[in-house]
């Protein structure tokens, strides 16, 4: 089977049964050998349909007699695929989107409902095109079925007349339905950012993610990596203020096959995650503990920043993820990393031993939802509360690893104050021997929003990198 839409349907069916979107997609793609353009189409349809689930369900609710949750699950998935193509994929002709969706219904047990599927999608088109207009969206049929190499769905539907989606007045619900987020996430952002910035953040989070790499200065130079990739026809650009970072432009093909990967010249790591290593500022010869290390992007960066001299304890409770860390450190030819399997909350052997500790805490990932299409539907206010308890326990215990006068950096890839500012404030209230340090000795980019309190927050729609929170804490010299 090599029909991209059927493969997308199979992956989405797995997602609706509980599978992670990336796992379901990999499983579907592994079974076939597709051309790159078809793989991109399957990927876009799966991730896009998962991201835009609330919007697509609302369209079904508004256009069909039965609400989306009353439809058979597989039929709902097929309708999602049809509406996603009509609403967000300008380069797929409307006729192709409708006809292939009807065919999907026919081939997957809904032969008797092909008229319903056809009618519902055409009803959307009629509303979108305005009274009396037929054919393509905005009266223009597109002749290409291929997606752009790095498709980025627009935040608004590519319709030149009317939007069939009816939106409520309430700003939380309006943004939630239009951009497909749960109301509670929109509310969290509105309280921090206000309406205009929240809408921009929602739009940014619905883009297809970019891929950044971090060059390994112990093996190569940024110029050498640029030249090697350019000779392979792969476009990259530098990221201002990040001396080891390059960002891929457009399609890369298989990452592992690119020049320099096997040789350990570089590894994949988002720019915002690279900033964490600079804030920690590890020095050659020091003892560093990375308390939640796997899969190891920040651990290996620490080793590079220390010139691979000193000792890094990489702790994590998940052996499979630690294996990934070991593979990466071997590929990058790093010798200073020692693996320690287990929960950092229960380690007592490290008390007062570390010059610096990194606590890259488990979090809800609300700053990286563009990378994880289903994260917005998996997290809840309750799961955030549970994570904040874990984060506070980790911070309280790992702070005992730090020598008097030493440094701890707390970092997350979430934008929820309950996992960030509130965790740090509670810790400082209970720990008079610690204070926030605004590091004068570390040159961080201008775009890092340092707050009056001294912590850093990276807002994706402003800085065009993943959302992150980080703060550097220093222990008093006279602490025991």
Residue 295: is the preceding peptide bond cis (ω within 30°)? yes
Query: How would DSSP label each residue in 56-118?
Result: HHHHHHHHSSS-GGGS-HHHHHHHHHHHHHHHH-TTS-HHHHHHHHHHHHHHTT-GGGHHHHH
Helix (H, G, I), strand (E, B) or coil at 141: coil
Structure-block tokens of residue 8: 């997308």
Distance CA 54, CA 404 (A): 50
Phi, psi of 245 (to 5 degrees): -105, 140
The sheet carrying 235-238 orders its strands as 235-238, 245-249, 212-215, 266-268
Say if residues 328 and 290 touch (Cβ distance below 8 Å). Answer: no
Distance CA 394, CA 255 (A): 34
What is the signed CA dihedral for 275, 277, 279, 282, rounded to 10 degrees? -160
Say if residues 249 and 234 touch (Cβ distance below 8 Å). Answer: no
Is 413 catalytic? The answer is yes
Angle formed at CA 231 by CA 227 and CA 237, multiple of 5 degrees: 50
Say if residues 381 and 313 touch (Cβ distance below 8 Å). Answer: no
Residues forming beta bridges with residue 435, ordered by sequence position: 474
Query: How would DSSP label each residue in 416-454?
Result: -GGGTHHHHHHHHHH-TTEEE---TTS---TTSEE-TTS
Cα 158 vs. chain centroid, distance in angstroms?
25
Say if residues 253 and 36 touch (Cβ distance below 8 Å). Answer: yes
Phi, psi of 65 (to 5 degrees): -70, -35
Q: 73-88 and 4-16 helices cross at what angle (nearest 10)?
A: 120
Structure-block tokens of residue 339: 């693996």
Distance CA 400, CA 17 (A): 43
Structure-block tokens of residue 245: 């970072």
Annotated catalytic residues are: 413
């Amino acid at each position: 089977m090599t029909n991209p839409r059927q493969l997308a349907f199979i992956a989405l069916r797995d997602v609706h049964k509980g599978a992670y979107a990336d796992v379901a997609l990999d499983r579907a793609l592994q079974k076939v050998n597709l051309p790159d353009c078809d793989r991109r189409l399957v990927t876009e349809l799966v991730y896009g349909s998962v991201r835009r689930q609330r919007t697509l369900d609302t369209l079904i609710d508004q256009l069909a007699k039965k609400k989306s949750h009353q439809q058979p699950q597989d039929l709902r998935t097929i309708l999602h695929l049809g509406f996603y193509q009509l609403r967000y994929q300008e380069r797929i002709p409307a006729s192709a989107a409708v006809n292939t969706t009807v065919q999907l219904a026919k081939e997957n047990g809904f032969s008797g409902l092909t008229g319903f599927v056809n009618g519902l999608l055409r009803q959307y088109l009629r509303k979108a095109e305005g009274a009396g207009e037929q054919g393509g969206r905005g009266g223009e049929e597109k002749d290409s079925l291929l997606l752009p190499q790095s498709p980025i769905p627009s935040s608004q539907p590519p319709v030149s007349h009317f939007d069939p989606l009816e939106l409520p007045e309430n700003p939380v619900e309006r943004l939630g339905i239009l951009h497909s987020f749960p109301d509670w996430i929109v509310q969290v952002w509105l309280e921090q950012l206000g309406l205009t910035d929240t809408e921009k953040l929602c739009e940014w989070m619905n883009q297809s993610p970019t891929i950044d790499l971090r060059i390994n200065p112990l093996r190569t130079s940024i110029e050498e990596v640029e030249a090697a990739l350019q000779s392979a026809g792969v476009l990259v650009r530098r990221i201002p203020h990040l001396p080891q970072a390059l960002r891929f432009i457009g399609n890369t093909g298989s990452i592992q096959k690119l020049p320099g990967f096997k040789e350990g010249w570089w590894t994949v790591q988002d720019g915002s995650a690279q900033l964490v290593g600079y804030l920690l500022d590890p020095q050659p010869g020091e003892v560093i503990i990375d308390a939640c290390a796997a899969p190891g992007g920040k651990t290996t960066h620490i080793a590079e920043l220390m010139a691979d001299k000193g000792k890094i304890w990489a702790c994590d409770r998940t052996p499979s993820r630690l294996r990934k860390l070991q593979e990466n450190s071997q590929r990058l030819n790093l010798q200073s990393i020692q693996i320690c399997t287990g929960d950092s909350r229960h380690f007592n052997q490290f008390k007062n031993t570390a010059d610096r500790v990194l606590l890259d805490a488990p979090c809800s990932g609300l700053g990286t939802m563009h990378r994880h299409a289903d994260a917005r539907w998996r997290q809840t206010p309750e799961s955030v509360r549970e994570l904040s308890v874990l984060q506070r326990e980790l911070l309280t215990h790992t702070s005992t690893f730090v020598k008097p006068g030493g440094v701890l950096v707390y970092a997350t890839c979430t934008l929820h104050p309950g996992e960030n500012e509130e965790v740090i404030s509670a810790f400082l209230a209970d720990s008079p021997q610690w204070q926030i340090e605004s590091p004068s000795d570390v040159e961080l980019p201008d775009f890092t929003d340092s707050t009056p309190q001294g912590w850093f927050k990276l807002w994706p729609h402003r800085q065009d990198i993943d959302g992150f929170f980080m703060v550097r804490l220093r222990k008093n010299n006279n602490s025991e």
